[in-house]
Structure 1
Amino acid sequence: MSLAIAQSTPTGAAIGGVVSKAYAFGEVVECELLRRSFNQVYGLKFADGRRVVARLSAERPRGAPKVEYEAALLGHLRARNVPVANCLPTRDGTVATMVTLPEGERPLMLFEHLDGEMTGEALPDVEAFGRGLARLHDAAQDFVATESHYTLDLNYLLESPLRLLLTAPTMTEELRTQFTELGSRLHQRISSMDGLTQVVCHGDSHGQNNFVTSGQGEDRVASFFDFDDAGPGYLAFELAVYAWSTHPHSVSGKLDEKALARWQHFIAAYRKERPIPAADLQAVPAFMAVRHFWLLGEYAGRIPIWGSQAMPTAYLRKQFELLTNWETLTIPESNLP
């Protein structure tokens, strides 16, 4: 009997075999699964000592992977000296190779290996992250997209995720009404904001999609990877992703002094490279809620893979309470020079 498969996880050895055939880098001597989350990520080593990272894109609620756009953006940023994990072409010159799996074909991309550690609590590393993100935005200003891409507007960030969230099998009628009304208020609130800045967004700039290392002329340098959420969108959303990542995700959670210091040093470092209009900073709390809606939609869209109890009803109630409290959330602006 043939069974439908939601999502399979190839072994490291299997991915190593695919890469050996599709890429002209020689024999793969090591390949391990690094992470199984929204995508499956593998670390590989070739016989000549070269190290790379492979990403097997998963089916995603937000639409098909935009691999051509991602590769073009990475090439543009690299040409402007922004440290990124560039896409490595296949032996045929394409940006990805298609892997046939029980659930269908999925694109596999290869990227340069980056050294360093993710942005943590050390303020010099937080500053490197803020400085690097500002330079990334500057370098992408003249990027012209000729490929299909995500557009990080309210439909993508809020409306579509909300529709997915409402279909969760653990959603009650009461919660469905509450989330719908909350999403509508948030949409109206942001729609009434004038003059919000648009940038080419990394899309998932929470400080864990970059590594920080020592650099020349600066204490620390941030290098960026994982651009599969990238696309044109709101600067306020891009900044809010980091604020969202530092803020406690509990109903009564408040920023403590350490978290507030990280946020302020991040903003101060960004501002030294690139101005942030007041309207965008004021919009950050609203976009923190948008970011949370986006994530809940991503989770809901993966229930066929993760199971309904990845989002039990009790969890949904807590998320509604959290988002309700965030309607009145304010974040102090940085008073650092």
Structure 2
Amino acid sequence: MDIFPTRYSLLSATALNDYLQQCYALRDTTCRLLIHNVSDTYLLESSGTRYVFKIYRDAHRKMEEINGEVELLNILHTGGASVSRPLADKEGRYLQPFHAAEGIRYGVLFTYAEGEVYTAMSDQQLLEVGRGIARIHQITAGLQLTHHRQPLDMEALVDAPLRVIKPAFANGLEAEYEYLRDTATRVKQQLSAFDLPSFSHGYCHYDFLPKNFHFDSAGSVTFFDFDFAGAGYLINDLASFYVHFFLDVLHHKMTQPEADRQFAVFIRGYRALRPVSEAELASIPYWGYLFWLFYFRFHYENFE
């Protein structure tokens, strides 16, 4: 009997626990599902040591791009950035293949980012995040990976999203689509007015929201979830962090003046290690619009 077309399987935590014990020479571990999302995240625990095992969705990430993420994280770790890094099994392999209903899904074991998420950050934490992102950018600026990652260029941020989401606006929402398209055209025109060749370029995380970094008890920050990492203008990362303040202002959790003050503290931390020009900062609102367009496509493609 043929397997019925499957969009998204869920692998057994019990079976994964046995498999990972064998592959990584671990003993007395427990495994449980943490997040069932575009990728599945499992928590693996052994004698007080915690790991994260992430299983990528076949339709979302193929082997080449996952290898690119692993390569990037190893470079960041070697360079001294504070990131959750991939761990090789006893045979030296980073990717574990699983023959699931929808095809081969690959999993990677990561170190656990100790600590917790802080959505309301102190000035000291904002400075720490700024310095942490600057350290990452010091390493990724001008970097060229051997494995392919989808670049964060205008095709990925504007043109492809508009093509992909267009069918969702059929049957009565054509005017709304025209608004999105016309606004995107104006944003591209505004960005082209900047001296973009002078902007710093390298590999971006592209999702520096508070859900993707933990502060430990000593106040140190560790970044994780580089699933969207790709080559682009590094100001995109600062724009993605600003989304946190945009949402807090939108939902009346913070005033605009306070959001601007806190973002300025973050920028001060960033500039302590790495320069960012006034022109780059002035372009953030435009990259911010493209961030939402990019995620519009992401949700359209991955959630029914």
TM-score for both structures, normalised by structure 2: 0.88
RMSD of aligned C-alpha atoms?
2.5
Paired amino acid for 1:167:
P
Work out whether 1:209 is the aligned partner of 2:212: yes
Matching of residue 264 in structure 1 with residue 264 in structure 2: yes
For the Cα contact (< 8 Å) 2:21–2:29, is it kept in 1?
no
2:158 paired residue number: 158
2:201 to 198, 201, 214: 198
Q: Is the 8 A contact 1:42 1:54 kept in 2?
A: yes
**CA deviations over 1:67-95 (Å, ceiling 9, x no partner):** 21111211111112212111111233222
* Structure-2 change in CA distance of 1:234 and 1:62 (3 Å): farther
Tell whether 2:262 aligns with 1:298: no
1:71 aligns with 2:70: yes
* Whole-angstrom distance in 1 between the partners of 2:180 and 2:142: 38
Partners of 1:84 and 1:225 within 8 A in 2: yes
TM-score after normalising by structure 1: 0.80
Q: Secondary structure at the match of 2:54?
A: strand
Specify whether residues 65 and 34 from structure 1 end up closer, same or farther in structure 2 by C-alpha distance, changes over 3 A only. farther
Shift of residue 119 of structure 1? 3.7
Say which SS state the counterpart of residue 248 (structure 1) adopts. helix
Residues 74-83 or 97-106, more deviating: 74-83
- The 3 A distance-change label for structure 1 pair 154 and 142 is closer
CA deviation after TM superposition for structure 1 residue 249, in Å: 7.9
CA contact (8 A) 2:199 2:233 kept: yes
> Is the Cα contact below 8 Å between 1:44 and 1:54 reproduced in 2?
yes
Aligned partners of 1:28 and 1:241: how far apart in 2? Answer: 39
Distance 2:213 2:227 in 1: 13
Please give the alpha-carbon distance, in whole angstroms, between the structure 2 residues aligned to 1:74 and 1:61: 19
> Is the CA contact (8 Å cut-off) linking 2:142 and 2:201 kept in structure 1?
no
Percent identity of the aligned residues?
24
Higher mean displacement: 293-302 or 79-88: 79-88
For residues 24-52 of structure 1, give each alpha carbon's deviation from its aligned partner in whole angstroms, at most 9, with x where no partner exists.
Answer: 23235311111122211110013x44321
Give the conservation status (yes or no) of the 8 Å contact 1:88–1:111: yes
Inter-partner Cα distance in structure 2 for 1:203 and 1:162: 19
Q: Which residue of 2 aligns with 1:222?
A: 221
Structure 2's unaligned 5+ residue stretches are none
Tell me the SS of whatever aligns to 2:20: helix
Question: 1:252-271, CA deviations, whole angstroms, 9 ceiling, x for partnerless residues?
Answer: 97853443332121111111
CA contact (8 A) 1:41 1:54 kept: yes
Q: How far apart are residue 142 of structure 1 and its match?
A: 6.1
Unaligned runs of 5+ in 1: 308-337
